[in-house]
Structure 1
């Protein structure tokens, strides 16, 4: 006989009970073990099974093992924490390994308000754009709306995205880069692409933008795409044009959901901003931003918050971020170093004055001057390297290097540039002078030691950013001598991305109880891609960045969401003796800082670098005492005027942008309540901590408290549990944090932490299977007296399944589960949820004699069938109606045309049944 099973039905197959899942075709069953996870699901054809697949019931056995009050409460907590398919409107809440801040939920609600989510998230550096995009992705996956996705990002961010998706959202994605693609493709059939075989991918933009790959990707691209650093895809540079062609092709599919992330969306460039907005909605390119109706349309797709917006006013997220203290540290050059810099500058200016044969020759002379002077100002070691190197034929790559821009496929951003100047006696003399200075005391390095000494005494852990590889190695060696008791390492572009991560990770002390200070010397290969906030709390700009965006990115490595220190320091070093430092401060950094103070954001340099170069050259010449007539002859004064105008325009445009597009419409009270309701049902971090504390004690290995941390000695657990935990890399002593941000070497103890999940699953299995961990005594029935009740009360622990039907263009069926507690007196439910939990958690006032306990338990079991068709049935149906109202409320607020109907699968599973009686009994 053929039995048709609907999703949510219980079946018995292969000697165990399963829950039927939605099936891809008739005649095929997709089954998930009743007490297992999604990864344990199987697909089978009933006709091929040796034993028939039969309907099943999950009844409370008549001979269920008894338990005591403390263990019954522990079982209820474990049951709640094992469930991963919540029935509420926020289905992702059960899957997160962190607690999102309220403001981070705003983009999620904005996405849910759109039929096809397309957002530009333009929050400041360090606010958590990765988290905000991941929340949207995880929610849509858990709603069954996304079954494949790609994250497109610059190559240096690929591994960070893979790690964040796994650690925070439980999503295993595959990295697709120039280094991994061929390896992935070798295992595939000819007709299959990487994106067919791997539904979850993080893709290097620079790898995929090439024309041949771009076309193949466009055909196989999933219908959900996240684009990080989206502003780098809309410029006039050749590489940016290729990226834009890729993204605009993807955006032409009106059903493709796209989340664009950038910290610099506007930056005073209306044309680039319009191109960026065209990826969200083509009509936005011709929008009149002065028109309130257009701005209202855009506000549905665009969210932009500064940190100051979140630490004041309605959001009050002050502790989400550290306080930021910035200082300047001027230093004097020694006579020898000053003479060398001035000699080098005079030599360069002499070449510039002779470069009058054409515009290109003059521009190359300007670039060569600026590049060389950057190296000279950085360190004698960098100057020596630059002077001895011959510039390659690709002279056009010099300009992006000068202004701290990564070229498209270049990984080592810190190699000293070569010089295009002809070899002559003056150049050879400069090389010889640089070589002599390399072995002498360095006044700049001495100044760095002076700046770091008081910070180290205060317990700081600094990152020292240098521009060039040779400088970084020189500084590392000097700091090791100056601070022999501090761990000092250097990370530069000579290391692969994996080696950089490993070197940073290795700086964490093996013994976390031991106070160890560390100094990391880094080039700008670390200014993006690796977050440093867990190990470091101070940034020192040893070399000035010539790009305000890069300057902000350096500080954003430590000054960001998740920084455990309450105070982050930034120190900017410069020499008033140096013409090059003075020019950069005057032309670039001071102006950018004025705009930042006025608007709250950092504005990058204009795309057209000619005026910047002219203004820098003019400033250096004037500081060196070159007659003003020469700057006029070279028309450098024009560049200074243009730069002044560009900065004014950038400031004004940024001010207008902030006024136009500030996301002020959504308030915390619109965001928080629904999420809090989900968290209460599923278990908060505080609930997880109480459970793990109780479970570890029950296993005979109580948690050890150390200041703000908890230590779980998992090596002392039962061998079966140890093996399970070892599969999650939890061995020895596990360090747990109870509040965010979690210190280095710890993880926040949440419901999804492997220790929580493994203990919860083990306890539930121990209650359902008498053979599993039989020594724990975790039974499913019990009876005890308590002061919490005045008459006999039965508390039922239920596992309730629901069918969620999403009525939209494509109807979807989802299965959800909740753990529920209901307290019943007679035939009436007197408490549910947290109120029933309080009754179950109330301590027993005495131990009942076994005969009395068994009598009360038998009476409760005898009455259970009547309760299931009476008050429990009514409760479950009412809960389905509540859930339907919750979904409707959120979708109405979202303006969504779809609706959700919720149907309870009856009867619910009775996991436990406990009789509570007045204390005097």
Structure 2
């Protein structure tokens, strides 16, 4: 028999009725007010209580307060939306601030089947890896499996993760990075870590990776860890493992620690790095590359339970592809001509001469000039202003010229990151948007008049009148804006972004909202600039278009889909992964537009653009369209591009490319001879495409999870707790009956002024930041304040109505009982609104946990001797069917009184139904974990008896003809 103080029991303490919560202990009770929320819970220490705690019994409705159909329906919706510890197999549904899509539940199902959660989520860019990881975290917290969690991410993503956890998962996280750590550690007790003091944290990877902080973090790290951008923490060989990898390896060494790794590029073409990443899931997986035969197949079978990767086409069978926009990609070109063509010819000639002048010098001098020449070409292709800055900036100073290996390595790193856009082989894409130096040290005697002449010439080429690249951009922008698109223009360098902004402001004036975001801004200000664009309608005037000029500091992590729906690649990236990341900022889950537009912009007679297009970008795009997923460059992209540039631009013998005293800018890579590295790249692309196609068919366990396996369980939980449409119906009805109705406007937007609500509710809403007139909506992606079932406004409203209803102080706003005439029934029908409270006891790892599950069900009372109760969807349909006519209040009271007096005769039937619900709940949970690898993992479900009859609705058949009513 269940003890009176067990979770879910009702007790009387301090003159109030309470529900006992699972966090209680033998001498301490954690209690929630009967009509209140978990936020109102309190602790009571039994030894010092003046009056003994005693069991309580839920009182039946008062017939004198019987109401109409609307008042009873409002009670049901308020109580349902107040529930947090729902009875479905997913414990977290009631605590989510959004409605996830079915395919996003798959990683959660995979996680729940694991004894220790070790999962690599490698879904395509924009599919929703953050949501999928957050669902796992929220579910494990609500199940009591974990008590603390942390997110490890690059520093520029810390604030975004904090916001996502707060808004979507109702988790208050503490950001730990260099700017906050000192304040957080101040006042901590000796020997206590801030990660023990703050149960939910978001940690900067760059802050925590250092040796002096790593050891303390590993000691006090929470039992659940999410690692964002996991590929950036892995190196390809033991000698190159750096602090990031050492940190993750030490965290993963604790076998009981739950870890979820997120990356859109798990395999960059380097097998060593990929297997090291898999080794964090299980050390055995790191041997996949060297294991064969049956052992390899066995490991792959195991890995399938830890690895989820979906492309956009994989989601179509979930009927959720419609939640992603169609990506319309096209190419646009400009043509070098006039003074700009002459300038580019001079730049290319100078760059080639620069390399040739030191052909007989030492290695460092040769590499220095090679990188300077390549940087100059890159910047000249970007903008005249970037070219000026490159020509005016030294790549290295005289003091830096050494003959050491360290200098050469530093030089190569600088060139790879600022010219080549990062090193794909090491999973390290560059967001350094500073212009690289192209002027070399004075001791090489190269600062002669050609450099000064090039600088002077470049300064005269700014503006659409002389810069054909800028001139060609303007019609593209005007076309997009006319068609209703709001574009992001991605540039490679800060100088180019500022150049574009200044000239676009002159062209468009105040007809558009325009700004530039570059690496000059700290991460916090970047997000503020993005948020300032908003999605409003310009204070009721004609909606303005929006243009954002950005560098690649925004191509990773910052979500732009709320305000932008088009991408223009003003500067081609020399790394195909960067292009996909740029486009993924707008083409992602949550984009309200049905279509997004992508424009690949390049010079049709620019040989630098031609090289990048031919060797990398077009092949990458062809494969993306074929497979539905972007692949990183299948070999060392920096080595390939260096070799191509060396062969094409910097050859000094047998040139044959000068035509009438100038360089021939017409470029056809396919016609070039002696470029075996290009042929090698072609073969590598073909191999990568074939391998990716095979991997997607054979390795992933999510292929075994079909929509039919997931949707019924998720829909059952949603039905119990309420959907977005239920929230809309509830808030509209509540606001109307409380005297402050919603004013419906266009596009499913509403205006709501809470100033006319009852004072107590008005004050409670003010405490959660809701006062004065608001534009509100009930569907994601709409402007205004989006209200969902766990939004503080909806929760506050539900708590207020529940409390006044259960205290019988609703004054006709809502009622616990009612009677109506209905043409949906042929005989008297009684519907009981019953709250079932169950204890779910989980047994795992030789430990047991007790959870409280509550649900509201409509129980139909059928005639007969003895009477019979049954649960069915039919009861919900009957309760929501419109009343045919009003009933006399006295008749209503009499009918309710008769039913209340008969409740004692139904106690046995009610307890039978409660036991059946407990058994069904056990089956639901066990079915979700049917493939669990946990030895001895099981559930027991115990109903708290008796169940609570909260409401009574009586339907009387309406036999009057239509014309007599």
TM-score range, shorter chain: over 0.9
Q: Which moved more, 1:136-145 or 1:619-628?
A: 619-628
Superposed CA offset, 1:611-649 (max 9, x none): 4322233233479994699x9xxx995654554454444
The CA deviation at 1:522 is 0.9
SS of the residue aligned with 1:506?
A: helix
1:579 touches 1:624 (CA, 8 Å); kept in 2? no
1:225 touches 1:259 (CA, 8 Å); kept in 2? yes
The CA deviation at 1:61 is 5.8
Q: Does 1:828 align with 2:873?
A: no
Q: Which moved more, 1:268-277 or 1:712-721?
A: 712-721
For 2:813, the equivalent position in structure 1 comes to 777
The CA deviation at 1:368 is 2.0
For 1:609, the equivalent position in structure 2 comes to 638
Cα distance between partner residues in 2 of 1:591 and 1:619: 19
Superposed CA offset, 1:140-198 (max 9, x none): 11111011111111122212211111111111111112222222122423322121111
The CA deviation at 1:64 is 6.1
Cα distance between partner residues in 2 of 1:486 and 1:189: 54
1:416 touches 1:468 (CA, 8 Å); kept in 2? yes
SS of the residue aligned with 1:79?
A: helix
- Structure 1 47/551 Cα, relative in aligned 2: closer, same or farther at 3 Å? same
Cα distance between partner residues in 2 of 1:566 and 1:534: 13
Cα distance between partner residues in 1 of 2:654 and 2:612: 17
- Structure 1 676/40 Cα, relative in aligned 2: closer, same or farther at 3 Å? same
The CA deviation at 1:63 is 6.9
For 2:266, the equivalent position in structure 1 comes to 265
Cα distance between partner residues in 1 of 2:4 and 2:240: 56
For 1:723, the equivalent position in structure 2 comes to 763
Aligned with residue 305 of structure 2, among 300, 303, 309: 300
For 2:855, the equivalent position in structure 1 comes to 818
Q: Does 1:197 align with 2:216?
A: no
Cα distance between partner residues in 2 of 1:405 and 1:727: 48
SS of the residue aligned with 1:180?
A: helix
Q: Does 1:595 align with 2:598?
A: no
Q: Which moved more, 1:490-499 or 1:654-663?
A: 654-663
Superposed CA offset, 1:18-58 (max 9, x none): 22223464312222222222222222312223444333222
Superposed CA offset, 1:865-892 (max 9, x none): 222x222111111111111121222222
Superposed CA offset, 1:857-913 (max 9, x none): 22222112222x222111111111111121222222445541111111111222222
1:338 touches 1:577 (CA, 8 Å); kept in 2? no
For 1:467, the equivalent position in structure 2 comes to 492
- Structure 1 526/794 Cα, relative in aligned 2: closer, same or farther at 3 Å? same
Q: Which moved more, 1:50-59 or 1:487-496?
A: 50-59
For 1:480, the equivalent position in structure 2 comes to 505
Q: Does 1:503 align with 2:529?
A: yes
Q: Does 1:805 align with 2:841?
A: yes
Cα distance between partner residues in 1 of 2:766 and 2:15: 28
SS of the residue aligned with 2:851?
A: strand
Cα distance between partner residues in 1 of 2:157 and 2:123: 18
- Structure 1 350/289 Cα, relative in aligned 2: closer, same or farther at 3 Å? farther
The CA deviation at 1:8 is 2.2
- Structure 1 807/715 Cα, relative in aligned 2: closer, same or farther at 3 Å? same
SS of the residue aligned with 1:179?
A: helix
Q: Does 1:331 align with 2:334?
A: yes
SS of the residue aligned with 1:124?
A: coil
SS of the residue aligned with 2:704?
A: coil
For 2:555, the equivalent position in structure 1 comes to 527
- Structure 1 594/792 Cα, relative in aligned 2: closer, same or farther at 3 Å? closer
The CA deviation at 1:497 is 1.5
SS of the residue aligned with 1:432?
A: helix
For 2:220, the equivalent position in structure 1 comes to 220
For 2:892, the equivalent position in structure 1 comes to 853
Q: Does 1:431 align with 2:418?
A: no
Cα distance between partner residues in 2 of 1:325 and 1:274: 35
2:150 touches 2:201 (CA, 8 Å); kept in 1? yes
1:545 touches 1:551 (CA, 8 Å); kept in 2? yes
Superposed CA offset, 1:559-593 (max 9, x none): 11111111111001111222221222223222323
Give the alignment of 1:71-470 within 5 angstroms: 71-236=71-236, 241-287=242-288, 288=291, 291-311=296-316, 314-356=317-359, 357-391=361-395, 393=400, 395=411, 396-405=413-422, 413-422=432-441, 423-438=447-462, 441-470=466-495
The CA deviation at 1:599 is 3.6
Cα distance between partner residues in 2 of 1:129 and 1:348: 44
1:533 touches 1:560 (CA, 8 Å); kept in 2? yes
Cα distance between partner residues in 1 of 2:212 and 2:382: 41
1:622 touches 1:628 (CA, 8 Å); kept in 2? no
Cα distance between partner residues in 1 of 2:726 and 2:528: 34
For 1:686, the equivalent position in structure 2 comes to 725
For 1:794, the equivalent position in structure 2 comes to 830
1:104 touches 1:131 (CA, 8 Å); kept in 2? yes
Q: Does 1:26 align with 2:26?
A: yes
Instruction: Please give the TM-score of this superposition, normalised by the length of structure 2.
Output: 0.89
The CA deviation at 1:811 is 0.9
Aligned with residue 489 of structure 1, among 491, 510, 515: 515
1:355 touches 1:362 (CA, 8 Å); kept in 2? yes
Q: Which moved more, 1:41-50 or 1:201-210?
A: 41-50
1:411 touches 1:493 (CA, 8 Å); kept in 2? no
Cα distance between partner residues in 1 of 2:323 and 2:21: 40
Q: Does 1:891 align with 2:892?
A: no
Aligned with residue 573 of structure 1, among 601, 616, 621: 601
1:120 touches 1:261 (CA, 8 Å); kept in 2? yes
- Structure 1 317/820 Cα, relative in aligned 2: closer, same or farther at 3 Å? closer
1:463 touches 1:539 (CA, 8 Å); kept in 2? yes
| Structure 1 unmatched runs, 5+ | none
For 2:963, the equivalent position in structure 1 comes to none
Q: Does 1:837 align with 2:876?
A: yes
- Structure 1 247/613 Cα, relative in aligned 2: closer, same or farther at 3 Å? same
Instruction: Please give the TM-score of this superposition, normalised by the length of structure 1.
Output: 0.93
Q: Which moved more, 1:910-919 or 1:205-214?
A: 910-919
- Structure 1 405/730 Cα, relative in aligned 2: closer, same or farther at 3 Å? farther
Q: Which moved more, 1:793-802 or 1:17-26?
A: 17-26
The CA deviation at 1:129 is 0.9
SS of the residue aligned with 1:164?
A: helix
Q: Does 1:872 align with 2:904?
A: no
Aligned with residue 754 of structure 1, among 792, 795, 804: 792
Cα distance between partner residues in 1 of 2:430 and 2:928: 45
- Structure 1 728/853 Cα, relative in aligned 2: closer, same or farther at 3 Å? same
The CA deviation at 1:325 is 0.8
The CA deviation at 1:391 is 3.1
For 1:12, the equivalent position in structure 2 comes to 12
2:858 touches 2:871 (CA, 8 Å); kept in 1? yes
For 1:882, the equivalent position in structure 2 comes to 920
SS of the residue aligned with 1:76?
A: helix
Cα distance between partner residues in 1 of 2:792 and 2:838: 26
Aligned pairs, number: 908
- Structure 1 108/82 Cα, relative in aligned 2: closer, same or farther at 3 Å? same
Cα distance between partner residues in 1 of 2:301 and 2:373: 49
